[in-house]
Structure 1
């Protein structure tokens, strides 16, 4: 195995630690603790079981499992066989999981006990295509670690850095999920940078808040295992009381979406000053507000708070911003959110205005080693990349092959403020109301400044006179007229939402992000204004 990080595969990152720290704890899941040696043997045994059931090394494996030994060992087993992994979420509808399975071109469906409930929905597809469906309860998966020698040994993996490691699926504007293939060479620079930046090594204990279908889980698994640390998998209900999880499980590195902080606070489950052993609190997936950052600092007063950003297409994260320890030194931003950047120094970046010219504010576009090579369906590439001639960018039209020179268009609007990048919102969160072009993020920032509003989301919905704005907020319930008058003193009148709705909590999607489509659907029927 080479020591060059850019030549390592995901499986190399794990086995390198298994060779160096065989007796160190690699995984805590349920009531089990597995050392690196034990997890390696378990994964090898599961790989042998898959090979025996399928009859040949599969090229692509779908993993319908979550927060179980089968999920973690199954992921490693797929890599051990040189297969491309596509995680499926047992909490998603079976129909969607089946559609993703088919789009991924998987040949094997591996499930844990929770995922096996959806097997009847896959039966026809598995039989018609002569694919393999295999359910492994955790007890059976653990046993394979001790019986691997009785099964035919899997061939040595011959995976190359240019091979695809996994395919994740994001929501597409057409309603058809878009497959994002990520190669091992895209992952290595990310893993190496984050192991170094967050000082991940033996003795560290890393959280696991993300489902495998959400790419920050790659940090959970492979930054942890690449550094020789311990992945501490919670039960799903443990995340409703995150401070108990931090303290009782001795977590040193926390990684989550910011909404998890707000949800716990709303439930009264965010006691302060207890998580003194936490070293890093890392957040990703949506804007981190200063209110959330301050709440987390009270939870874990000794922890560094870091805000990171990146779409799946740029391999988990491509920016990083570390807050100073003293809140008095926290930089003020125009929208009350923690900066996201700079972008990693080994990646190339452009910020482009609506005309495709470089600007201080505009769409963030990135290329470099972490940029993926295009969607599973090449038709999805059109318009998502661009070329740049030094003065102006040209959107990719799909008529010529993509090259490393093309930038990926994130669809996110950013601005340089005091030397740091601030995330201003999605470009598709810009709407036109009564002729005015409005940034929904600007209204949300104003609402969050109200002392009684804890979280705020604004959605645009059809109304009697065209598009209207609905402002949803948590915190103290306010009289709508008084709240609107307050907003009129902070933003132009045409930006004040026509409706303000108090919610006990904001809905979250399976990845833990605020579910804006659910809010649009819920409030999409016109109602009288306050």
Structure 2
């Protein structure tokens, strides 16, 4: 059954139940279907047809959700990414749906959302039950296994199946579900969580301008499921009397980066919610899940068990050759009975061995091991810093810093800071002293969530026998300096 048909079936049973809550409005299931219908007509009149690609230049939850279902209805490819980002990788959308005219885009490819679409009464409400053919495709932005932003395309049926498994929390469906995700609704994970919540008859709280008041929204609307990244947790913990706002929580899902037991223990002091740790990526979806038990000794790196029966886990050696007998090595995934997702602008693994292979594997670039049915992350193959789910290449950070400070040589290193969240230490050579504040002023616009934990000015760097900077040796020197 298609996404739009499933939604219509749910809406027929509970048309007036709240589907979406934002800072400015509440929408019932009937209202959501009305919004889809109000978008469908004008877009069709503008020439949008099955098989077309449309880029959504909006992060408003109501439009994101409505367009996901409209793509299912009409067999569209929906890019949940700005048109400029699509064009940068060679994807030229047939149309771009925008709130106002964009002078950088061709006028004949822009469809401006007009207030009049929503003010005219509907003559007759459409019945979408049984419609849609599972022919939609969805394109999401990813920080990429290499830290280089990419666009990932997924088929409708595969995307739905992945999220259905990932959102199976073992909760009694009769108790309902109200979800708040702290991630932008255009991300693969948040979009999937939102859509799956609707398709089991639940409701969503989505915040934009008032995301700093999420605790109040959790309390006011009795949110029972929180989906967040580890980087958001310290902010929650720092809020005054946070625990009194979390009494309704039943489940809290942490994804996007490895989360420390210390951080989870502190969160557990504020809430009795079950704590779920998810491992996955935009390129393949959620793969593993662990239930964290506060106060119980945990094996380092534990990411849980496979929650995707449609995925096969493979271990590869350094040449990226699968080893059926291995229980440790480069982790890889494939779908034996279905198509994998793909990057829009590239094929094959990158120089570190991460990415999609011609054999239908996806390698996230992580080293892992398996013990029985449980999986443990050992580390990463490449120089990528994971800042609460945002992954950045150290090489890119180096480039930006050295451009900003002529005559300098910058060597960023991955370190773990407070609450075991990753950041960077920067060793540098320069004609004059550079402060951490000066570096952050340069990095902040391009690297959201990145923290500089410390900086050290040096006269020289240790080198390997081949003349490259010896990063492990430099890390040891910085540790001694500290």
The 2-side partners of 1:330 and 1:142 are apart by: 55
* 2:192 aligned residue: 219
* 1:341 aligned residue: 305
Deviation at 1:312, TM superposition (A): 1.4
The 2-side partners of 1:40 and 1:184 are apart by: 19
* 2:290 aligned residue: 321
Deviation at 1:73, TM superposition (A): 2.6
Q: What pairs with 1:247-396 in structure 2 (closer than 5 Å)?
A: 247-265=219-237, 267-269=238-240, 271-301=242-272, 303-314=273-284, 316-324=285-293, 327-333=294-300, 339-355=303-319, 356=321, 357=323, 358-368=325-335, 372-377=340-345, 380-383=346-349
The 1-side partners of 2:444 and 2:304 are apart by: 22
* 1:108 aligned residue: 95
* 1:429 aligned residue: 383
- C-alpha change, 1:466 and 1:292, in structure 2 (3 Å) is closer
Instruction: Please identify, of 463-472 and 196-205, the stretch whose mean Cα deviation from structure 2 is larger.
Output: 463-472
Tell me the alpha carbon deviations over residues 309-335 of structure 1, each in whole angstroms, 9 at most, x when there is no partner. 112121x211111123xx2334231xx
Query: In 2, are the aligned partners of 1:191 and 1:219 still within 8 Å (CA)?
Result: yes
1:133 aligns with 2:111: yes
Tell me the alpha carbon deviations over residues 405-451 of structure 1, each in whole angstroms, 9 at most, x when there is no partner. x3221212223368522223331138xxxxxxxxx89xx9xxxxxxx
- C-alpha change, 1:268 and 1:370, in structure 2 (3 Å) is farther
Task: Tell me the TM-score normalised to structure 2 length.
Answer: 0.74
2:235 aligned counterpart, secondary structure: helix
* 1:10 aligned residue: 3
Query: In 1, are the aligned partners of 2:176 and 2:202 still within 8 Å (CA)?
Result: yes
The 1-side partners of 2:150 and 2:26 are apart by: 36
Tell me the alpha carbon deviations over residues 139-169 of structure 1, each in whole angstroms, 9 at most, x when there is no partner. x56546x43659xx899996433x3420123
The 1-side partners of 2:35 and 2:374 are apart by: 45
* 2:370 aligned residue: 416
- C-alpha change, 1:193 and 1:156, in structure 2 (3 Å) is closer
The 1-side partners of 2:444 and 2:162 are apart by: 26
The 1-side partners of 2:182 and 2:123 are apart by: 30
1:71 aligned counterpart, secondary structure: helix
1:213 aligned counterpart, secondary structure: coil
Which of 165, 187, 207 matches 2:180?
207
2:102 aligned counterpart, secondary structure: helix
- C-alpha change, 1:230 and 1:329, in structure 2 (3 Å) is same
Deviation at 1:276, TM superposition (A): 1.5
* 1:433 aligned residue: none
- C-alpha change, 1:55 and 1:320, in structure 2 (3 Å) is closer
- Give the CA RMSD over aligned residues: 4.6
The 1-side partners of 2:142 and 2:393 are apart by: 23
* Runs of 4+ in structure 1 over 4 Å off: 55-58, 153-159, 171-177, 395-398, 457-468, 496-499, 506-514, 522-530
Query: In 1, are the aligned partners of 2:247 and 2:271 still within 8 Å (CA)?
Result: yes
The 2-side partners of 1:512 and 1:18 are apart by: 41
Deviation at 1:366, TM superposition (A): 0.9
Mark the runs of 5 or more structure 1 residues left unpaired by the alignment.
Answer: 1-7, 386-392, 431-439, 445-456, 476-495
Query: In 1, are the aligned partners of 2:17 and 2:28 still within 8 Å (CA)?
Result: yes
Query: In 1, are the aligned partners of 2:81 and 2:141 still within 8 Å (CA)?
Result: no
Mark the runs of 5 or more structure 2 residues left unpaired by the alignment.
Answer: 403-407, 420-424, 429-434, 461-477
1:243 aligns with 2:221: no
* 2:159 aligned residue: 187
The 1-side partners of 2:310 and 2:106 are apart by: 43
1:300 aligned counterpart, secondary structure: coil
1:246 aligned counterpart, secondary structure: helix
Tell me the alpha carbon deviations over residues 201-220 of structure 1, each in whole angstroms, 9 at most, x when there is no partner. 67421113222332102233
Deviation at 1:224, TM superposition (A): 0.9
- C-alpha change, 1:249 and 1:55, in structure 2 (3 Å) is closer
Deviation at 1:180, TM superposition (A): 1.6
The 2-side partners of 1:497 and 1:417 are apart by: 36
1:104 aligned counterpart, secondary structure: coil
* 1:61 aligned residue: 54
Task: Tell me the TM-score normalised to structure 1 length.
Answer: 0.68
Deviation at 1:27, TM superposition (A): 1.2
The 1-side partners of 2:456 and 2:343 are apart by: 32
